[in-house]
Amino acid sequence: MTKQFLKDSLGWGFILWLIGYALGMILFFVVPPSLIGWVITPIGIAITLWVLLKKVKGDSFKYYLLLAVVWTLIAVTFDYLFIVKMFKSAGYYKLDVYLYYILTLVLPLLVGWRQKSMTSKNMKLKLQNKTEQGLRWIAAILDKNNIPYKIGGGLAAKVYGSPREVNDIDISISGKHFPVIIPEVAEYITAGPKHYSNEKWDCNTLSLNYQGQDIDLTDIDTLKMSNLDKTEWFNAKERRLFGSIAASINGADVSIMDPRDLLAYKKELGGEHQLIDIEAIQKYLNEHEIL
């Protein structure tokens, strides 16, 4: 169980319940008790969807399924303890309350299904043989060691429709995993692990070359980059709002950046080739009606 899941499930589950609880206390003095639940419901739906789409960073339907169960258990348990028992409200359980529990369970599942539908299953991309082999090789190592990662750069853009040829395979992981994979990639290391810094980037990196394919692993925990105009720096990790997307590329199961994060990232990079990627990613988002 990861810290991210604990934050998303227990943290946001409690916060959402607390918001509903506080609204109920406030509305008790404003509207008839029988209408409180019906007034809270649309507000609760809007807030919950915002949290699911903007704050929760699930990377699989299973993640959202577990999230839904935890949120529902929190809602049912805390309602019983702090409403039914505390206020001796035996008549609390009515249609609006049951609807609230159903929505608490269903909304994460709907968002999780939406995330799953964004996945490109069994996608066939026109890749150079060295790129395909390099992708399979590094993905297998990361998966074997249970290391979370996100493929970005030109390869991720190609998944979302960019016509450009893939050059490097760009992957972001936590730098704490570098020591874990170094023994398995040692003979292919071309640089690093080392700190790299210029007017655009400031981060720890590990560069590999597997059978002619360059693979760049970047420590997302230390990654800082300047904006497009190079007038300010920001932590890239803080700008990545969404979880990874599982995809099968030419039979290789991999994890790629969410198109919304990739688009925001590409917009901070200069060069005509970035504009090609940006146009393709934006088109993908529009076609799939992804906000």
Residue 74, phi then psi, degrees to nearest 5 = -60, -45
Q: In this structure, is residue 234 part of a structural domain?
A: yes
Q: In this structure, is residue 123 part of a structural domain?
A: no
Q: In this structure, is residue 122 part of a structural domain?
A: no
| Residue found under tokens 């003095």 | 29
Q: Mean pLDDT, to the nearest integer, of 116-134? A: 79
Judge if 251 and 180 occupy the same domain: yes
* Amino acid letter, 283: K
Judge if 89 and 163 occupy the same domain: no
Give the confidence band of 290 by pLDDT, cuts at 50, 70, 90: confident
Parallel, antiparallel, or unpaired: how do β-strands 201-210 and 213-219 relate? Answer: antiparallel
pLDDT digits (tens, 9 = 90+) for 231-251: 999 998 888 877 788 888 998
The total domain count for the chain is: 2
Element (H, E) at 103: helix 95-117
Average pLDDT, the chain: 91
* pLDDT on residue 178: 96
Judge if 133 and 252 occupy the same domain: yes
* pLDDT on residue 238: 85
Domain boundary residue among 91, 117, 143?
Answer: 117
Question: Could you tell me the residue range of the domain that residue 101 belongs to?
Answer: 3-117
CATH assignment at residue 181? 3.30.460.40
Q: Write the CA distances from 209 to 19, 131, 184, integer angstroms.
A: 51, 11, 13
Judge if 105 and 140 occupy the same domain: no
Q: In this structure, is residue 110 part of a structural domain?
A: yes
Judge if 148 and 46 occupy the same domain: no
pLDDT at 114 over 80: no
Q: Are 100 and 74 in contact (CB under 8 A)?
A: no
Judge if 39 and 135 occupy the same domain: no
* pLDDT on residue 98: 96
Nearest to 263 by CA among 229, 234, 225, 290: 290
Structure-block tokens of residue 260: 């919304």
* Amino acid letter, 251: G
* pLDDT on residue 135: 96
Judge if 259 and 163 occupy the same domain: yes
Q: Is the pTM of this model over 0.75?
A: no
Q: In this structure, is residue 124 part of a structural domain?
A: no
* pLDDT on residue 287: 86
- 242: helix, coil or strand? coil
Give the confidence band of 27 by pLDDT, cuts at 50, 70, 90: very high
Q: Write the CA distances from 252 to 29, 140, 160, 199, 218, integer angstroms.
A: 58, 9, 16, 35, 21
pLDDT digits (tens, 9 = 90+) for 7-16: 999 999 999 9
Give the confidence band of 1 by pLDDT, cuts at 50, 70, 90: low
Q: In this structure, is residue 100 part of a structural domain?
A: yes
Element (H, E) at 170: strand 169-173
* pLDDT on residue 121: 52
Task: Give yes or no for a cis peptide into 108 (omega within 30° of 0).
Answer: no
Q: In this structure, is residue 218 part of a structural domain?
A: yes
DSSP string over 23-54: HHHHHTTTS-HHHHHHHHHHHHHHHHHHHHHH
Judge if 41 and 83 occupy the same domain: yes
pLDDT at 18 over 80: yes
Structure-block tokens of residue 237: 């990790």
- 202: helix, coil or strand? strand
Domain boundary residue among 57, 92, 117?
Answer: 117
pLDDT digits (tens, 9 = 90+) for 39-96: 999 999 999 999 998 888 776 788 899 999 999 999 999 999 999 999 888 789 999 9
Judge if 141 and 244 occupy the same domain: yes
Structure-block tokens of residue 195: 């700190």
| Burial of residue 19, with CB atoms counted within 10 A of its CB: 0-12 exposed, 13-18 middle, 19 or more buried | middle
CA-CA-CA-CA torsion for 52, 57, 60, 66, nearest 10 degrees? -60
Q: In this structure, is residue 71 part of a structural domain?
A: yes
Judge if 275 and 143 occupy the same domain: yes
Is residue 250 left, alpha or beta, with left meaning phi > 0 and alpha meaning psi from -120 to 50? left
Give the confidence band of 109 by pLDDT, cuts at 50, 70, 90: very high
Q: Are 51 and 16 in contact (CB under 8 A)?
A: yes
Q: Mean pLDDT, to the nearest integer, of 112-120? A: 68
Give the largest CA-CA distance in the chain. Answer: 72
Judge if 25 and 101 occupy the same domain: yes
* pLDDT on residue 117: 64
* pLDDT on residue 119: 54
pLDDT at 281 over 70: yes
Judge if 73 and 155 occupy the same domain: no
Domain boundary residue among 85, 117, 149?
Answer: 117
